[in-house]
Amino acid sequence: MDARKVIAVQNASDTLVKRLVRRRKRVEVKYELEDEAGTSPASQEQEATAIAESNGGSGSGGGGDGDSIWEPPLWKQVLENLQTMRAARDAPVDSMGAEQCMDQGAEPKVYRFQVLISLMLSSQTKDQVTHAAMTKLRQHGLTPDSLLATPDATLGELIYPVGFWKKKVVYIKKTCEILKRDYEGDIPPTVKEMCQLPGVGPKMAHLCMDIGWGKLTGIGVDTHVHRISNRLGWTRRPTKTPEETRLALEAWMPKELWSDTNLLMVGFGQQVCVPVGPKCGECLNKALCPFGRNALLASPKKGSPRKSQKRKGQE
């Protein structure tokens, strides 16, 4: 990007910042913690709308109106900063995430099954809890046959307290039946078929294809990737769902970066760009990130306006 474009982007952003500061004085935005992984849909939408305005977009969705060359301003520098901040790889997801829960010595078919089960358990669940449940399941015997032979109540005890554990017992049992019936106990070989399993959506399917089959079919977008992408302005327009964000990211991001994007951003979202009270003051992207600039301008002394709100709420 040449100097004129950088200045133009900066000017547009400054205008937006002033507007947002005025709006902030009128309206106190209340942030609601949806779960450990994400902000409430309403707050994400507010963030997304603000960022998209600074990018010159409107409405929802990614990609472009026939303009296939759009890419976020200075995204390479932003990415480099993300990689620097994540160099230690010491977030919970790095040691206890769904990718760390399988029996590395298992035969490929069993390994793939364990990938699928760990991803099913990880939805709406902290990594520590997923890891503990997977450890218990592996000790119990983690194959379709062993789970089908396990009473529902016992399976529930093994995976408790993962999020929606009762529903997941049902999903896992049904999935095991389908895998036995249609795939000889293996997991489906395509995203489309994977998404037909109960409780499996695009995020799980793409991660399963990548980790289980070694095929890169798409970016695994969860609430962390969704939230951070919108805060950074990495979608041309605001996106309302992780699936919209996936399409918006894939529209411009080079494919060789897709595989690491989930782990990179999830860990960053656990440690720095958290759902409520992101630590913008200590973020290397604070001068490049539209959301971070807004937050710091609105509350320059505290580094993050919502940090102080959270503290007050905890007292």
Which lies closer to ligand SF4 via its Cβ, residue 206 or residue 224? 224
Closest among 109, 95, 62 to 219, alpha carbons compared? 62
Distance, in Å, from the CA atom of 250 to the CA atom of 154, rounded to the nearest integer, reads 41
Nearer to ligand SF4, 107 or 282 (CB): 282
Catalytic position from the list 203, 215, 302, 307: 203
CB of 309 to ligand SF4, least distance (A): 15
CB neighbour list of residue 74: distance below 8 Å, 6 or more residues apart: 1, 6, 288
Cis check: omega of the bond before 238, within 30 degrees of 0: no
- Of 122 and 230, nearer to ligand SF4 (C-beta) is 230
Cβ distance 223 to 37 under 8 Å? yes
Nearer to ligand SF4, 103 or 282 (CB): 282
Q: What residues have CB less than 8 Å from 113, skipping those under 6 apart?
A: 142, 143, 144, 179, 185, 186, 187
Distance CA 164, CA 170 (A): 10
To the nearest whole angstrom, how small is the minimum distance from the Cβ of residue 152 to ligand SF4? 41
- Asked about 203 being catalytic, the answer comes back as yes
Longest dimension (CA), the chain: 66
Residues that bind ligand SF4 (CB under 6 A): 231-232, 272-273, 278-280, 283, 285-286, 289, 291-292
Instruction: Tell me which residue of 176, 172, 173 sits closest to 184, measured CA to CA.
Output: 176
Specify the residue, 179 or 276, whose C-beta has the smaller distance to ligand SF4: 276
- Closest contact distance (angstroms) between CB of 86 and ligand SF4 is 12
* 3-class secondary structure, 213: helix
- State the nearest-atom distance from the C-beta of 78 to ligand SF4, in Å: 8
Q: 33: part of which helix (H) or strand (E)?
A: strand 33-35
* Closest residue to ligand SF4 using C-beta atoms: 292
CB 277, min distance to ligand SF4, A: 10
Rounded Cα distance between 279 and 282, Å, is: 6
Q: Which residues are catalytic?
A: 203
